[in-house]
Amino acid sequence: MIAIDKLEDLAREAGAEIRRIYESHSYSVSTKADRSPVTEADLAANAILVTGLKQFGALPYISEEEPRQTLEHSPERYWLIDPLDGTKEFVNRRKSFTVNIALIEMGVPTVAVVYDPMEERMYSAFHGDYRENGRIISAHTPWPAGTILLSSHSHPEEALTSFLSRNSITEHHRVGSSIKFCLVASRRAHIYPRFHSLNAWDTAAGDGVARAAGCHVIDWQTGLPPIYAYEQALTPAFCISAPQTAIQR
């Protein structure tokens, strides 16, 4: 049995350790085989999450900070976690990074938590319910007027320029990590398009939160929500948007 309050507490615990290390101004940074950075905060948060998830039963998990477990059969239920999403933001002293936890069931993120430790804001999804800081928010809450678009701070995309020219965008902000999903979910933005694939651990928790909040979440190629199969390392190009937002691809 998954208790969402306990899962949120686990994300807070990992987030508190990330924030402690960030505010110490003294931490190690190394480079992984894929040339992405990893810090002691990533590893400390990973240890907290991996240990803490055991309270919910013996489910397999995939973490950015560990080799993928080889299983004889693809599991129908597993955890997909990014202990510190936005490591480049962390290293560059930008405060937009998160703790991401998603429970995948039959390819769908049915339970998800995204925690912003610097703002102490919790966004979560629990079998269709959307929560902000522990309070259930109706998925029918309207978005304000306008079209606020979000894009990656650390990973600019050439396709975004032409997308902006085809769509009526009132504001454009560059933001790091899964906070982008959460800003759309919380009605502070309207659209987050992505034109290249991302690692599944970067998207699953934010995707789950956005779906529960009533956002449209689509794979650009299929027009359907992304599927998170255990063997699938990448999430194809996608778009998160408010339902009423008109989009010209």
Residue-wise pLDDT for 23-39, tens only, equals 999 999 999 988 899 99
CATH superfamily name and code, 4-137: Fructose-1,6-Bisphosphatase, subunit A, domain 1 (3.30.540.10)
Q: Give me the residue spans of the domains in the chain.
A: 4-137, 148-241
Handedness of CA 45, 50, 55, 61 (dihedral sign): positive
Amino acid at 101: I
- CA 88 to chain CA centroid, Å, is 15
Can you list the positions of beta strands (E) in the chain?
29-31, 37-39, 61-63, 77-85, 98-105, 108-116, 121-126, 129-132, 135-137, 148-152, 171-175, 191-194, 198-199, 216-219, 234-235, 238-241
Number of Cα atoms under 13 Å in the Cβ half of residue 231: 4
3-class DSSP state for residue 58?
Answer: coil
* pLDDT tens by residue, 93-148: 999 999 999 999 999 999 999 999 999 999 999 999 999 999 999 999 999 999 99
* pLDDT tens by residue, 169-225: 999 999 999 999 999 999 999 999 999 999 999 999 999 999 999 999 999 999 999
Nearest to 178 by CA among 194, 202, 195: 202
What whole-number distance in Å separates Cα of residue 50 and Cα of residue 35?
Answer: 24
Amino acid at 136: I
Q: Which two tokens stand for residue 100?
A: 């991401």
| CATH code of domain 148-241 | 3.40.190.80
Number of H helices, E strands in the chain: 6, 16
- CA 66 to chain CA centroid, Å, is 18
Q: Which two tokens stand for residue 59?
A: 């489910």
What whole-number distance in Å separates Cα of residue 83 and Cα of residue 61?
Answer: 12
Q: Which two tokens stand for residue 146?
A: 């306008």
pTM above 0.95, yes or no: yes
